[in-house]
Amino acid sequence: MGSGATYGGGAVGVCQTALLTEIEPGGPAYRAGLAPGAALLKANGRPLRDVVDWRWESDGPAVEVEFVQGGAAQTVRLEREAGETWGLTFGDLLFDGVRVCRNSCAFCFMTQLPPGLRRALYVRDDDYRLSFLQGNFVTLTNLVEADVDRIIEQHLSPLYVSLHAVTPAVRADLVCARGEDRALEIADELLAAGIELHVQIVLVPGVNDGVELERSLQWLAGREGVRSVGVVPLGYTRHQQRFAKSYETAVDATRVLDQLEPWRSAFLKRDGICWVHAADEFYLNAGVPVPSGDEYDGFPQFENGIGLVRDFTDELSSLVSRADGFPPDAVSAIGQRTVLVTGTLFAPVLRSLLADAAPGLSADVLPVSNAFFGGNVSVAGLLTGADVVTALREHVGEGPYLVPTVIFNEDDVTLDGICAQEILDACGKDVRFVAPGARSLLSGIL
C-alpha cells in the first residue's frame, strides 16, 4: 500500500472531510485543478474516513476524487506517473474525528492532570488508526467487528497495544473497561490474521507486577506475532490521591529488571532478540547501566521511552570519537560556561556522560524539578515553562543555557501554555533552545 500523499498536523480534532492544506505545483492534484482549502469527500466513490482510506484507494496510477472547492462539488480523475506522488497534503490524519478512550484506567496520566490546561491535553485518544500511523498505544477495548475486519483487510500492521494484564480480575481493576472487555480475544484474532503487535505493560506496584507480570509475559510469549513487549513504570502526579510510589527505589527497580532478565536471555538464545524491554527509568533508578544498542532489537519501542539513554550515549560517543579532540576548557563564543537544562531523571546521566566522553567540554548540567506535576514526573519532555523559568532564575550565572525543544509541542508552547519568547523574557538570561540529541547539545556547547 503506497501513500502518494504527505500529511501534516495530526492534531486532535473533528473534521468531516479531508481538508487539503497544500498542493504541490505541477503535481497530479495541481494538474487536476485542486487547490489548498479543497475538501475531499470520496475516492473511487468511497467516503474517506482517514488518510488510511486515502492511501488504500489511491494505491495506483489513477484515482477518481469527489471534492468541494469554492462552494462547488466536483469530480475529477487524478493520474500520476510511476514514482510520482499525488502532490497533496492533508491537514489531519483523521477526517471523521479521533476515537477517544472509553475506559477508566486506574493509572491514566490524563486523569491526573490539574485543571485549567489546554483542552487538547485532556483528550484521551484510543484510536487504532493512530496506532498504525503514529505508533500510539491503544487498548483494543473500543473496537467493533467492523474495525477488526478493516484492520485485517487493509493489513494495518503493526499495531501498538496497551495490554497491562491478562487475568480478568486484574484487568477489571486496572483497565476498568466500559462494557465487555474483549481486548485479549481481539488481539488473538488480529494475530491469527497476521497483524503484528508491539505491546506495552504499564507496571503498577502490587497490582500487575510480580506473579501477574509473569502471567502476562507467558501469555504474550505463546503468541507468534507479538514482536516486542515494553514494560514501563507507573507515572503519577501530585494531583491525585491513589498512588504514592512507583519503582523509584533501587530495590524495587532491580526486582523488575531481575524478573525480566530470564525472559530476555531465553528469547535471545532462541530467536536472537531480547523481545521484552524495560523502560530507561528502571535502569536509572536501579543504578545499573542500560543495555547495549544491539540488545534493543532495533528500538521498536523508542517512542515509549525505551532506549533513549542508550541512543544518546552511543550518539555522543560516536561524535566525540570522530572529532579531532576538544580544546581544553572549550567555551562558548562569549566565553561563558554552558549550562545544559534537563529533567532530574536524566541529569546525573548526562553529567556523567559528558565527564567521561568529553572531559574537555566546559559544560554544567542543571536539573529542573517538576513542581507543576509533582509525583514521580522527572523527564525533560514533561517540564513546564514555569518550572524552567524558576530554575533559570534561581541558578547563579548568565548562561548560555541550552533548553531542549522537547518541552514544546507542535504549536511551540509548553504544557502550561508558555512560548519560547515568554521564557526568554521572564528569566532575563541567555537561553538557547536546541533539539534533543547529542549532536545538538555538542553543537550548542561548542
Domain finish residue from 279, 306, 333: 306
Q: Which pLDDT does position 324 carry in this prediction? A: 52
In a domain, 1, yes or no: no
Same domain, 344 and 408: yes
Same domain, 323 and 300: no
Domain finish residue from 40, 60, 90: 90
**Tens digit of pLDDT per residue, the chain (446 long)?**
444 454 443 333 334 679 999 999 999 999 999 999 999 999 999 999 999 999 999 999 999 999 999 999 999 999 999 999 999 999 999 999 999 898 888 888 888 988 888 888 888 889 999 999 999 999 999 999 999 999 999 999 999 999 999 999 999 999 988 888 999 999 999 999 999 999 999 999 999 999 999 999 999 999 999 999 999 999 999 999 899 999 999 999 999 999 999 999 999 999 999 999 999 999 999 999 999 999 999 999 998 989 999 999 999 888 877 765 554 444 444 445 789 999 999 999 999 988 887 666 678 899 999 999 999 999 999 999 999 999 999 998 777 999 999 999 988 999 999 999 999 999 989 999 999 888 888 888 77
Same domain, 28 and 55: yes
Same domain, 151 and 183: yes
Same domain, 61 and 122: no
Same domain, 299 and 356: no
In a domain, 96, yes or no: no
Q: Which pLDDT does position 110 carry in this prediction? A: 86
Residue 399 belongs to domain spanning: 315-445
Residues 6+ apart with CB under 8 A from 62: 77, 78, 79, 80
Same domain, 77 and 116: no
Same domain, 86 and 131: no
- Burial pattern 237-259, b for ≥16 Cβ within 10 A else e, equals beebeebeebbeeeebbbebbeb
Same domain, 358 and 392: yes
Beta strands in 234-298 (DSSP E): 276-278
In Å, the largest CA–CA distance within the chain is 68
| Grid cell 482517514 in the structure block, residue | 50
How many domains would you assign to the chain? 3
Q: Which pLDDT does position 7 carry in this prediction? A: 40
**CATH number of the domain where residue 74 is located:** 2.30.42.10
Q: Which pLDDT does position 378 carry in this prediction? A: 94
Same domain, 319 and 259: no
In a domain, 97, yes or no: no
In a domain, 403, yes or no: yes
Same domain, 321 and 298: no
DSSP state of 36: T
**CATH number of the domain where residue 123 is located:** 3.80.30
In a domain, 354, yes or no: yes
CA atoms within 13 A on the CB side of 118: 12
Q: Which pLDDT does position 106 carry in this prediction? A: 87
CB 47 within 8 A of CB 36: no
Domain finish residue from 43, 59, 90: 90
Q: Which pLDDT does position 81 carry in this prediction? A: 95
In a domain, 101, yes or no: no
CB 91 within 8 A of CB 8: yes
164 backbone φψ class: left, alpha, beta (φ>0; ψ -120 to 50): left
Same domain, 67 and 166: no
Q: Which pLDDT does position 274 carry in this prediction? A: 98
Q: Which pLDDT does position 323 carry in this prediction? A: 61
Q: How far apart are CA 8 and CA 246, in angstroms?
A: 36
Q: Which pLDDT does position 121 carry in this prediction? A: 81
In a domain, 400, yes or no: yes
Question: Which of 93, 124, 75, 80 lies closest to 19 in space, CA to CA?
Answer: 93
Question: Which of 187, 168, 255, 279 lies closest to 227 in space, CA to CA?
Answer: 187
Helix (H, G, I), strand (E, B) or coil at 241: coil
In a domain, 25, yes or no: yes
Q: How far apart are CA 54 and CA 152, in angstroms?
A: 17
Q: Which pLDDT does position 102 carry in this prediction? A: 86
Element (H, E) at 42: strand 39-43
